[in-house]
Amino acid sequence: MHKLQEGISLRSAAALLALLYIGHLGIHHAGQGLGADGWISILLGFVLSVPMLLIFSRLTRLMPGANLFEMCEQGFGRVLSYVISALYLAYFLILASTVLGQVEFIRTVSLPRTPFVVLSLLLFGTAAYFAHRGILVIGKWSVLTIGVVLAIFVLLSVLFIQNLKISNVLPIGTTGGGALLRSGYRFMVTPMGAGVVLLALIGHSSKWVNFYKVFFFGGTLAVLFFAGTFLRDFSILGVSGMERLTYPAYHAVSAIRFGAGGGRVESLVTISVLLSVLTMLAICLCAAGHALGRVIVRREMRGMVIPAAILALGLTLFLGTAYAQRFPLEALYLRYAPVVQLGVPTLLWVVLEVKVKRSG
């Protein structure tokens, strides 16, 4: 496995970040009961995430070429950095396990007779292989994958044109400000806050990358993807369809027919979800392997991805059972995730700013 310390290019980092966001939220991009204003909450969530993204970017300027764990050791000391690394290890494992919704979607629409356990093993095994190859390989894969995902998005949008009903997305602005803020906050946490994973994957050769561009270009790409997909699907399904159907994006595409034989293109949605999920999993497992190495005080990260993948798979299967029993997973995630997404990075930023100024 390539060392996780190796750096990635600006293009690879932006593609990786966009796929992390898209794979994290996946097929679940409905408007949270906001009707036609769902896309507004997506844009609002991005605006709310701007301070967080600025902090991520600033950290890379304060300690160029250092990853999240090295930053924590410099800012908080070695002992406390191990505790924080354990906190991030738990977060990366939980983040990987959030793909259970996407796994269930793939199983439901494409492989209904395949047990959830078997499909999870296949996905985690494939993702672990990519993660084991290292961040440089994942970066190159991400550039190719984001091209395919965006090409599918554009193709489906073009095919949708004849089925669009603009009246479905009107009127705009009928939702109360409180509801929009709550939904915007949810989008800030899921998926935008997951961008903290990228800090764990920064290597020494990444110090020449402008991460302000990475975080904002990758984030903007994902936001446009989500907002565009929402508007496209809502214009077909309307309020009732978006709120009633479990997978609105998939059902909206079922209305498309092309060619003399009336061919259907639902499989393209599945392909897009599968590719983004695999990439998102590989990213999370790579970061989790790095965190696990720090927790057990092993500087060489070789071999840490496989144990991390086993832990993530076990957690996913456990949460899958809880999810089926309607355990409030999302509510717990929305409370826990901001601690590592915003709380720790903000404190780290303040500490490093002071130390850098004193040393300068």
Q: Which pLDDT value is given to residue 6? A: 60
3-state secondary structure of 263: strand
The model's pLDDT over 122-154, given as tens digits with 9 standing for 90+, comes to 999 999 999 998 888 999 999 999 999 999 999
CB 242 within 8 A of CB 248: yes
**What DSSP line would sit under 277-288, residue for residue?**
HHHHHHHHHHHH
Strands annotated E in the chain: none
DSSP 37: G
Query: Residues of 306-326 as b/e, b for ≥16 C-beta within 10 angstroms?
Result: eebbebbbebbbebbeebeee
Q: By CB neighbour count within 10 A (0-12 exposed, 13-18 middle, 19+ buried), where does 79 fall?
A: exposed
- Average pLDDT rounded to a whole number, residues 287-309: 84
CB 30 within 8 A of CB 24: no
Domains of the chain: 10-359 (1.20.1740.10)
User: Where residue 355 falls among pLDDT bands split at 50, 70, 90?
Assistant: very high
The C-alpha angle 91, 97, 99, rounded to 5 degrees, equals 125
Which of 102-106, 242-246, 289-293, 303-307 is predicted least confidently? 242-246
CB within 8 A of 131, min separation 6: which ones?
A: 138, 281, 282, 283, 285, 286, 289, 305, 309
User: Where residue 224 falls among pLDDT bands split at 50, 70, 90?
Assistant: very high
The model's pLDDT over 230-279, given as tens digits with 9 standing for 90+, comes to 988 888 888 777 777 778 888 887 766 654 444 467 888 899 999 999 99
Q: Which pLDDT value is given to residue 93? A: 93
Q: By CB neighbour count within 10 A (0-12 exposed, 13-18 middle, 19+ buried), where does 260 fall?
A: exposed
**What DSSP line would sit under 85-132, residue for residue?**
HHHHHHHHHHHHHTTHHHHHHHHHHT-TTS-HHHHHHHHHHHHHHHHH
Q: What's the distance, CA 229 to chain centroid? A: 16
